[in-house]
Structure 1
Amino acid sequence: MKVFRLDDLEAERAANEGAYLQFLRERNMSVGLYALDAGSHDPQKPHLQDEVYLVVSGRAAVTVGLETTDIARGSVVYVPAGVVHKFHHISEDLRVLVVFSPPEG
């Protein structure tokens, strides 16, 4: 069993001074914590993997392909592989769990 605490993951991510921390990698998936501060820009490019985002905290809008919606704590967003997507209009610091399948890179 592997157990993670969001507070510990956020501290490790911040200590490494990066927006993304991959904390689990298995044969069929990987999981990470993605952080974007209020007002920041999301530099993402499409990925080769399917993704699921679970918003842990914060508020923003997300565009996936041609669709845009507002997201907040508890929102779950699916992004198919290869589809252009961005978080934007980040009004509260955004913390998102990201599941990639198959594993990222």
Structure 2
Amino acid sequence: MKAFRLEELEAQRAANQGAYLQFLRERNMSVGLYALDAGQADPQQPHGQDEVYFVVSGRASVTVGDETETVARGSVVYVPAGVVHRFHHITEDLKVLVVFSPPES
């Protein structure tokens, strides 16, 4: 079994001084923790994999293609492969679990 604690993942991510920490990679998927501070810009580019975002904490807007939604703790967002997307108007520090399928390259 592989089990993870959010606090430990966040500490690892912060120690590496990056917005993203991939902590699980398997044949058919990968999972990471993505964090953006309030007011920070999201520099993402479209990915070659389908993605699911689960908002762990924070508040922001997310635009996927030409649709925009407000997200907060508990929100789940699906992003098809190749679609332009980004978080913006981040009003509370944002922490998001990201699942890529197939695994992010």
Letter in 2 for 1:15: A
1:10 aligns with 2:22: no
Show the 5 A alignment for 1:56-75: 56-75=56-75
TM-score of the aligned structures, taking structure 1 as reference length: 1.00
Q: How many equivalent residue pairs?
A: 105
Q: What SS is found at the alignment partner of 1:41?
A: coil
How big is the shift at 1:82?
0.1
Distance 1:86 1:48 in 2: 15
Q: What SS is found at the alignment partner of 2:31?
A: strand
Residues 3-46 of structure 1, C-alpha deviation per residue, up to 9 Å, x if partnerless?
00000000000000000000000000000000000000000000
Q: What SS is found at the alignment partner of 1:8?
A: helix
| Residue number in structure 2 paired with 1:43 | 43
Distance 2:6 2:91 in 1: 21
Letter in 1 for 2:61: A
Q: What SS is found at the alignment partner of 2:18?
A: coil
| Residue number in structure 1 paired with 2:30 | 30
Distance 1:57 1:70 in 2: 13
Q: In percent, how many aligned pairs have the same letter? A: 82
How big is the shift at 1:54?
0.1
Distance 1:56 1:86 in 2: 17
How big is the shift at 1:83?
0.1
Unaligned regions of 5+ residues in structure 1, if any? none
Flag as ranges the 4+ runs of structure 1 deviating above 4 A. none
Q: What SS is found at the alignment partner of 1:12?
A: helix
Provide the aligned C-alpha RMSD in A.
Answer: 0.2
Q: What SS is found at the alignment partner of 1:22?
A: strand
TM-score of the aligned structures, taking structure 2 as reference length: 1.00
Distance 2:43 2:20 in 1: 11
| Residue number in structure 1 paired with 2:79 | 79
